[in-house]
Amino acid sequence: MSVEAREARQPWILLSPALTAVALLLIVPLCFIVVYSFWLRTATGADQPGFFLDNWAEALTDPFYRDILINTLKIAAITTLVCALMGYPSAYFIARSNGNKAILLLLLMLPFWISYIIRTMSWINILGVSGALNSFLLWTGIISEPLQMLYNQATVILGLVHFLLPFMILNIFVSLDGIDVTLEDAANSLGATRWESFLQVTLPLSLPGLAAGGLLCFVLGAGTYITPLVLGGPRDAMFANLVFEAIITQLNWPLGSALSLMLLVVLGLLVAIYNRYLGMAQLMKGLG
């Protein structure tokens, strides 16, 4: 075997355990779901194997599903934007702090020690009718009746931001931390103010991290069902809730499969479009 051929094979050999896991745990179940989505649930409650397009017709034509899909993407987009705006300054602060970087990163990880569900539920104790904020406002006399702050779109976004912000900060931090600080010094020495050198040098060089963080937040946000379940009202269901509903509550596996594949395809498409830009950003990072 030639050296080239051996070198070409080596990555695949190293990847094989991971590829096996991906194949068994992801590809195979996915194939089951694809097959399932063409089955049909009969009136008796049993699934009828076959090739029926009924589930797909329902999923693709019912405006109910379409509206919720659009709403889901909107919530994920807003969450991502809020995370980016809130995360960038924090990441910048951590990356530029001398000495206590390790402690700040540890603090950033701290929320992961508590279950995501419990973290989400904690907002009920803060914003609920008898929660901390209402109690405080009542005590100060600013309000005389407790405010209904929970169970709307805003609290869903709040919960998602709470959940996803550390991912965003971490991603931005990693790329900011890799930027040589003397680049900013160089820009300053050439006549750029601190703000100008940030815009010209630091921001473009940190875009890969921002892009990766954004993608992660968007995909995780669009696929979530716990946050809207805990913090959303009846009209704030997100697409994953429909899948949950169909499979767990109605036991309609074929429809649930079709719906989840639909979400998968939409997110996959968005990722593919996004990847064109992310790919370019990665290229720039490769240059650096």
Partner 1 sequence: MSSVILRNVVKRFHKFTAVHKTSLEIPDGAFVTLLGPSGCGKTTNLRMIAGLLDPSEGEILIGGKAVNNVPIHKRNLGIVFQNYALFPHKTVAENVAFGLKYRNVPKAEIAGRVQKALDLVQLPHVGARYPKALSGGQQQRIALARAIVIEPDVLLLDEPLSALDANLREDMRVELKRIQDQIGVTTVFVTHDQSEALAMSDSIVVMSAGRVEQMGSPDEVYNNPASEFVANFLGASNILPAQCSTRGADGAVLELAPFGKVPIPAEKAQRLSDAGPAKLVLRAEKLQVLPQGAAPEGVITTPATVETVDYQGQTVRYFLRLGDRQLQAINMIDDKPFEEGAAVQIGFRPKDCSALPGEAE
Q: Which of 180, 199, 265, 268 binds partner 1 (CB under 8 A)?
A: 180
Vertex 68, ends 116 and 118: CA angle to 5°? Answer: 10
By beta-carbon proximity to partner 1, the closer residue of 168 and 179 is 179
Please report how close the Cβ of residue 199 comes to partner 1 at its closest, in angstroms: 12
The packing angle between helices 132-140 and 116-127, to 10°, is 20
Residues 203-242 that bind partner 1 (CB under 8 A): 204-205
Cβ of 224: how many Cβ atoms within 10 Å?
25
Tell which residue, 106, 88, 112, 101, has the closest CA to residue 209: 88
Vertex 207, ends 288 and 88: CA angle to 5°? Answer: 125
Q: Which of 201, 210, 211, 212 binds partner 1 (CB under 8 A)?
A: 201
Q: Which of 42, 140, 182, 249 binds partner 1 (CB under 8 A)?
A: 182
By beta-carbon proximity to partner 1, the closer residue of 63 and 99 is 99
Q: Which of 45, 63, 99, 191 binds partner 1 (CB under 8 A)?
A: 191
Please report how close the Cβ of residue 95 comes to partner 1 at its closest, in angstroms: 17
Q: Which of 18, 118, 272, 287 binds partner 1 (CB under 8 A)?
A: 287
In the 3-class helix/strand/coil scheme, how is 56-102 assigned residue by residue? HHHHHHCHHHHHHHHHHHHHHHHHHHHHHHHHHHHHHHHHHCCCCHH
User: How many residues interact with partner 1 (rule CB under 8 A)?
Assistant: 21
Tokens of 73: 């993407």
Main-chain dihedrals φ then ψ at residue 191, nearest 5 degrees = 115, 0
Please report how close the Cβ of residue 225 comes to partner 1 at its closest, in angstroms: 39
Question: How far apart are alpha carbons 91 and 176 in whole angstroms?
Answer: 8
Ramachandran bin of 151, using left for φ above 0, alpha for ψ from -120 to 50, beta for the remaining angles: left
By beta-carbon proximity to partner 1, the closer residue of 201 and 238 is 201
99 near partner 1, judged by CB under 8 A = no
Please report how close the Cβ of residue 103 comes to partner 1 at its closest, in angstroms: 19
Positions in the binding site for partner 1 (CB under 8 A): 180, 182-183, 185-193, 196, 200-201, 204-205, 284, 286-288
